Each structure stands twice: as structure tokens, then as C-alpha cells.
């Protein structure tokens, strides 16, 4: 294990243990900081398969097992679960490459994350960090060589993207320095400069522009939401559908806690929470009819909605949602009884079937994307009766997107309601 930091240590083990198993189809389903919270093996979608792979990697991290031992574990797990179609399968060279990537990436990033935690602990005594290139690399990367010896304050933003490792197989590391170390080496702390601009990521492999361990305390849900917001809607929707199952419980519990805090707070503070995402099927439906598409796929709710003017107005009209119904919002968006498109307002309307004889309508406005709070958002939520829905559809005000999971497009779908 010499390449990965000799023996494992407490901070490294703690980092790896707190990860959640997350099924993914492709290696870039999850990039960057989200790896601080998620254990992934691209293509491993079955929970028991992923759990066994996690156990094999954990042995390598915790006990220092060799790459050859990990390869034996990997082969046994693949055979046990009948896993096929994974990248690298079928040739000795491909399998050797894939197993090395899984093994080395997890060991290097967990070691780096553990070091990050240690460096943070002593930052008050050793407030400077230095980038150190590994001279044993046969084919060094020019940018990594150029960064060798770079000294900057530990809190400099450059480290947020350049904390090593910075790519597949990168063996660079970071060391800490005290003020006396700089004085001994003749380094002027007032003359420290970055080798590149903070936003220049040339020389860093895709997905490696983060500091391993810096987001270890961040909920996985938040990291996925951040990624979702920065992806085009079709890509984000597909990602949500692949990953949401792994964080459904975390999202639900956090939403309940967040909603309770909002309802108890006398003030509206512009806070938001991602409660869902537009599905790929809905995006396809909108595109096929030439309706406006959202820029990204997330659906957020802001703290003004569950207790603001609209909620009070609906309560006065006796069609307001109860706190328990607000708690069901993520499930409502995920499994609606029907989805409609308001042709005049340009909104999507999700109608629940799960909350008793009445239904709950939640509107989402693609045309308002980025106009308020920078996110797609629920703009109203209330109880609506069947007659109102039927009237809107028969009057050609609403188009049917989906009813009970089946694609819409024809007003005859509503006739039986």
C-alpha cells in the first residue's frame, strides 16, 4: 500500500465508513464532491452486488490488502452475482485495468480525505499547504509538475479544486507548513501566488476538481441537488431517475425537518428545498408538442409557500394543504395520479391520488426557470376537485401529460374520472 499512504489511519477509515452505497450506470453519473458521501462502482446497480464490492474495497482500505487480493475478491463477487456488461469485462487487460481503477481510486481518495481532515485539525498551527508532486511517476503530467512546490494559505480557494489527487492515477499529495517552516526556507508569506487562476482547471481530470473529504459532512442529497441544478434538463432528469432511490429516505426525513422549521419560523427567508424533478417522459412530452422546456430538471419549493399568502388564501377557501399533506410533497411529485399542462399559464400540474377523496394540485412553471431564486419551483399547491379538472381538460385549457402513469395527449383519458 506504499503508493496510497502506507498504513490506514483513523481519519481515512472514518471517511470511508460514512459513505452511502449508490447504484450508478456510468462513471460520470456522479462527479466531484458527491464522491465524499457516495460509494459507487459504475454499472453496479444491484444493492447486494454493490454491498459486496463495498466490502471488498473496505478490506483494502482497512486491512491494506494488495491489488492482487482485491482482484481475487472482485472475480468472486462478479461470479457470485452473475454481473456482466461492465466496462473492462472480457479481456485480461480490460479486467486488470478496471480492478486497478476501483482499487486505486478508493484508496487514494480515502487517504487524501483523511489527510484533509488532519490538515484541517492542525490548520491553526500549520496554516500553509504545499503541493508536492510524486517524483516516482514515469509519465508526469506537465501541470502537476508545474504545481510542485506551490505554497498557499490553507484557506486559499485554489485548494478547493487543486487538492490532490487531481486525476486518475495521480500520486501528488499535500503537506502542511508552519510559519517557521516558511522562514527557514526563505519563503515570504506575503508574496505567495497561485500558479493559475482559481477557475483554471487545466491539468485536472474531469470530475477530480474537488478536495476529497471537504464535503464529507454534507448530505448526499445536497450534493446530488447541486449537480442537478447545473445539468441540462434531459440529462438532469435521467440522473435523478437513476439516483433518487438511493437517497429517497434521506430526502424525505430532511424535508420533514425542513418543513417543520419553516412552519415554526415567523419569517420567510428565501430558503429552498429540492422536492422532486421533472421526469424524462414529461420532458419528451413537452418537446414533442413544442412547449417551453425548463433549463434544468429540479423542482424546488421555497419557504414562503407552505405558510405564505397563497396558503392562507387556500385555507380561507377550505382547499389548503395540511402540514401532513405538505410532508407528502416529494412523494406526490414522484408518483402523481396525473400530470397536466396548463396551456395558458405554461405550467405543469401534478395531481395526487394518495391523499383521500380530494386531490392536490401542484404547479410547476418551466417559463419561470431562473426567474425567482434561480430554480424551477412549485408556484402553488392546493386541493382541487374532479369537476374542476374535467372542466379544464374538456375546455381545452389543460392538456393531459400523464394519467396513472400512462402518457396522455388525448382528452378522452379524463372521461372516466
Distances (CA, A) of 222 to 34, 126, 218, 251, 278: 9, 31, 7, 9, 17
CA-angle at 285, arms to 302 and 379, nearest 5°: 15
Model confidence at 212: pLDDT above 50 = yes
**Pick from 62-66, 216-220, 291-295, 357-361: least confident:** 357-361
C-alpha cell of residue 209: 476538481
> What CA–CA distance (Å, rounded) separates 205 from 399?
45
> What CA–CA distance (Å, rounded) separates 201 from 323?
46
Look at residue 99 in the predicted model and tell me its pLDDT: 97
Based on the number of CB atoms within 10 Å of its own CB, is 137 exposed (0-12), middle (13-18) or buried (19 or more)? middle
Look at residue 29 in the predicted model and tell me its pLDDT: 83
Q: What is the mean predicted confidence (pLDDT) over 389-395?
A: 93
Look at residue 414 in the predicted model and tell me its pLDDT: 32
Look at residue 191 in the predicted model and tell me its pLDDT: 96
Look at residue 355 in the predicted model and tell me its pLDDT: 62
> What CA–CA distance (Å, rounded) separates 328 from 349?
16
C-alpha cell of residue 82: 452473475
C-alpha cell of residue 243: 439516483
pTM: 0.78
H-run or E-run covering 38:
strand 38-39
Model confidence at 358: pLDDT above 70 = no
pLDDT tens, residue by residue, 260-278: 999 999 888 889 999 999 9
pLDDT tens, residue by residue, 127-155: 999 999 988 877 889 999 999 999 999 99
DSSP 94-136: HHHHHHHHHHHHHHHHHHHHHHHHHHHHTTTTS-EEEEE--TT
Q: Identify which of 21-25, 298-302, 352-356 has the greatest average pLDDT.
A: 298-302
> What CA–CA distance (Å, rounded) separates 384 from 235?
32
H-run or E-run covering 80:
helix 67-81
Look at residue 294 in the predicted model and tell me its pLDDT: 87
> What CA–CA distance (Å, rounded) separates 36 from 29?
14
Note the residue count of the chain. 417
C-alpha cell of residue 144: 502537476
Q: Identify which of 177-191, 330-344, 390-404 has the greatest average pLDDT.
A: 177-191
C-alpha cell of residue 415: 372521461
Q: Are 296 and 235 in contact (CB under 8 A)?
A: no
> What CA–CA distance (Å, rounded) separates 40 from 132?
28
> What CA–CA distance (Å, rounded) separates 328 from 322?
10
**How many Å from the N-terminal Cα to the C-terminal Cα in the chain?**
65
Model confidence at 59: pLDDT above 60 = yes
**Domain assignments of the chain as residue spans, ordered by start:** 2-191, 220-414
Q: What is the mean predicted confidence (pLDDT) over 225-235?
A: 85
Model confidence at 370: pLDDT above 90 = no
HSE-up (13 A, CA, CB side) for residue 22: 31
Closest CA to 13 of 65, 70, 60: 60
> What CA–CA distance (Å, rounded) separates 391 from 377?
26
Q: Are 309 and 362 in contact (CB under 8 A)?
A: no
> What CA–CA distance (Å, rounded) separates 238 from 374?
21
Residue 198 binned pLDDT confidence (cut-offs 50, 70, 90): low
C-alpha cell of residue 281: 417522459
Look at residue 6 in the predicted model and tell me its pLDDT: 53
Look at residue 156 in the predicted model and tell me its pLDDT: 96
Residue 412 binned pLDDT confidence (cut-offs 50, 70, 90): very low
Closest CA to 381 of 364, 368, 366, 362: 362
Q: Are 220 and 37 in contact (CB under 8 A)?
A: yes
The mean predicted confidence, pLDDT, of the chain is 88
DSSP 159-225: HHHHSSP-STT---EEEEE-HHHHHHHT--GGG---SS-TT--TTS-TT--S-TTTTTTS-HHHHHH
Percent share of the chain, pLDDT over 90: 61
Model confidence at 287: pLDDT above 90 = yes
Residue 367 binned pLDDT confidence (cut-offs 50, 70, 90): low
Per DSSP, the three-state class of 64 is: coil
> What CA–CA distance (Å, rounded) separates 199 from 319?
49
Look at residue 306 in the predicted model and tell me its pLDDT: 94
Model confidence at 411: pLDDT above 70 = no
Amino acid at each position: 500500500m506504499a503508493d496510497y499512504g502506507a498504513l490506514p489511519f483513523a481519519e481515512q477509515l472514518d471517511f470511508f465508513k460514512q459513505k452511502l452505497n449508490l447504484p450508478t450506470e456510468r462513471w460520470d453519473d456522479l462527479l466531484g464532491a458527491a464522491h465524499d458521501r457516495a460509494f459507487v462502482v459504475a454499472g453496479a446497480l444491484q444493492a447486494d452486488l454493490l454491498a459486496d464490492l463495498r466490502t471488498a474495497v473496505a478490506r483494502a482500505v482497512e486491512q491494506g490488502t494488495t491489488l492482487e487480493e482485491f482482484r481475487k475478491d472482485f472475480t468472486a463477487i462478479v461470479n457470485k452475482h452473475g454481473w456482466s456488461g461492465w466496462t473492462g469485462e472480457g479481456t485480461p487487460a480490460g479486467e486488470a485495468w478496471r480492478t486497478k481503477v476501483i482499487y486505486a481510486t478508493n484508496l487514494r481518495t480515502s487517504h487524501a480525505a483523511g489527510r484533509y481532515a488532519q490538515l484541517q485539525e492542525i490548520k491553526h498551527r500549520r496554516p500553509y499547504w504545499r503541493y508536492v508532486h510524486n517524483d516516482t511517476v514515469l509519465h508526469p503530467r506537465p501541470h502537476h509538475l508545474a504545481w510542485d512546490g506551490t505554497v498557499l494559505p490553507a484557506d486559499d480557494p485554489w485548494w478547493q479544486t487543486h487538492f490532490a489527487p487531481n486525476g486518475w492515477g495521480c500520486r501528488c499529495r499535500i503537506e502542511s507548513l508552519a510559519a517557521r517552516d516558511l522562514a527557514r526556507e526563505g519563503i515570504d508569506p506575503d508574496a505567495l501566488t497561485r500558479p493559475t487562476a482559481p477557475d483554471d482547471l487545466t491539468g485536472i481530470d474531469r470530475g477530480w476538481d474537488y478536495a476529497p473529504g471537504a464535503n464529507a459532512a454534507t448530505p448526499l442529497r445536497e450534493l446530488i441537488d447541486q449537480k442537478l441544478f447545473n445539468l441540462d434538463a434531459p440529462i438532469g432528469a435521467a440522473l435523478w431517475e437513476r439516483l433518487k432511490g438511493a437517497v429517497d429516505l434521506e430526502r424525505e426525513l430532511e424535508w420533514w425537518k425542513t418543513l417543520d422549521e419553516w412552519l415554526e419560523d415567523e419569517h420567510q427567508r428565501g430558503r429552498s428545498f429540492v422536492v422532486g424533478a421533472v421526469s424524462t417522459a414529461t420532458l419528451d412530452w413537452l418537446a414533442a408538442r413544442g412547449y417551453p422546456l425548463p433549463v434544468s430538471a429540479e423542482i424546488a419549493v421555497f419557504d414562503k409557500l407552505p405558510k405564505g399568502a397563497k396558503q392562507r388564501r387556500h385555507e380561507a377557501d377550505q382547499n389548503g394543504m395540511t402540514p401532513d399533506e405538505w410532508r407528502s410533497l416529494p412523494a406526490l411529485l414522484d408518483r402523481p395520479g396525473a400530470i397536466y399542462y396548463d396551456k395558458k399559464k405554461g405550467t405543469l400540474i401534478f395531481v395526487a391520488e394518495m391523499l383521500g377523496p380530494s386531490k392536490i394540485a401542484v404547479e410547476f412553471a418551466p417559463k419561470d426557470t431562473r426567474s425567482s431564486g434561480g430554480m424551477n419551483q412549485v408556484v402553488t399547491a392546493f386541493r382541487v376537485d374532479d369537476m374542476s379538472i374535467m372542466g379544464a381538460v374538456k375546455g381545452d385549457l389543460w392538456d393531459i401529460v400523464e394519467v396513472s402513469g400512462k402518457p396522455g395527449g388525448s382528452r378522452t383519458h379524463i372521461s372516466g374520472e
